[in-house]
Amino acid sequence: MGTPVKIAILSRNPALYSTRRLVEAARTRGHEPRVIDVLRCYMNITSHAPLIHYKGEDLTDFDAVIPRIGASVTFYGTAVLRQFEMMGVYPLNESVAIARARDKLRSLQLLARKGIGLPITGFAHAPDDVQDLIKMVGGAPLVIKLLEGTQGIGVVLAETYKAAESVIEAFMGLKVNILVQEYIKEANGADIRCFVIGDKVVASMKRQAKAGEFRSNLHRGGAASLIRITPEERSVAVRAARIIGLNVAGVDILRSNHGPVVIEVNSSPGLYGIETVTGKDIAGMIIEFIEKNATLGKTRTRGQG
């Protein structure tokens, strides 16, 4: 275990299961965790010695920072994390990688460029391209996703060509960015969450959508169960996390007729479902990873990306 590590956990809610477990695991291993509400941090950007202030005090002396930044505060949260990086504090996941993961379009483009299997995905701006866009992803049924959506919110399954057309036009009328993806029917409403730490999948679970629903998110009433993943799925999950630049990630995979396809790489994967289903101490593994890797100034980008 060695020297105690001072760990800042950036979380808006200390009562959340994932936050509680990280605090507990850090204390169990003899470290000093502290939960910090990222929105209560403020910074002097122009100072030669970067500092973060929090409720009137200087945040100094931290060795590592665990970002648990909600999607709605990504912009401010990554700015605070970048400041920690500039101070030489070791981040579990770097600000640049989190920003990449949160931008669904950017992350899919990065994964595609490196040859990771993905559902056929279209992106468009103008409503007069709708018909060609639908044709491009193989016609209906298809999935339409809000770029900014999380936990299955803003994801629609359009079962017919007509439905697809009207949903896409409605979204475009609201001036929101959307992705249009082929519907992987053979997945039967199930996906696989692979929990990656460092260069290995430490746990995986199958999430099955409830009857009449195609979104398998646990927040949407999906059920989780143990699953044995293939060496190919394991390798795809690890590669996807590495391409995005994440040390810890939840990589969501569908089993398609042409092999595993990645639907999302999540930079703040929840611990409740995966720990409950697998019985593994994932929080402990995260803290162990920090013990092995947290050295001052060991940030690939040092907040420069």
pLDDT digits (tens, 9 = 90+) for 16-74: 999 999 999 999 999 999 999 999 999 988 778 888 999 989 998 899 999 999 888 88
Q: Which of 146-160, 210-224, 269-283 has the lowest mean pLDDT?
A: 210-224
Q: How many helices (H) and strands (E) does the chain have?
A: 9, 16
257: confidence class by pLDDT, cuts 50, 70, 90 = very high
Looking at residue 246, its pLDDT comes to 97
What sign does the CA torsion over 75, 81, 87, 90 have? Answer: negative
106: confidence class by pLDDT, cuts 50, 70, 90 = very high
What sign does the CA torsion over 287, 38, 275, 200 have? Answer: negative
For 186-267, give the CATH class: alpha beta
Please state, in angstroms and rounded to a whole number, the distance separating the CA atoms of residues 219 and 62: 33
Residues of the chain with CATH 3.30.1490.20: 121-183
Q: Which amino acid is at 127?
A: P
Please state, in angstroms and rounded to a whole number, the distance separating the CA atoms of residues 108 and 117: 10
Burial class (CB in 10 A: 0-12, 13-18, 19+), 113: exposed
Please state, in angstroms and rounded to a whole number, the distance separating the CA atoms of residues 93 and 268: 9
Question: Is 90 exceeded by the pLDDT of residue 224?
Answer: no
Question: Is 90 exceeded by the pLDDT of residue 213?
Answer: no
CB 24 within 8 A of CB 9: no
Specify the higher pLDDT residue, 48 or 180: 180
This model's pTM is above 0.85: yes
Specify the higher pLDDT residue, 168 or 261: 261
SS3 210: coil
Question: Is 90 exceeded by the pLDDT of residue 304?
Answer: no
CATH superfamily, domain 121-183, is ATP-grasp fold, A domain (3.30.1490.20)
Answer yes or no: CATH 3.40.50.20 is held by domain 6-93: yes
Residues of the chain with CATH 3.40.50.20: 6-93
Range 89-115 average pLDDT: 94
Range 74-82 average pLDDT: 94
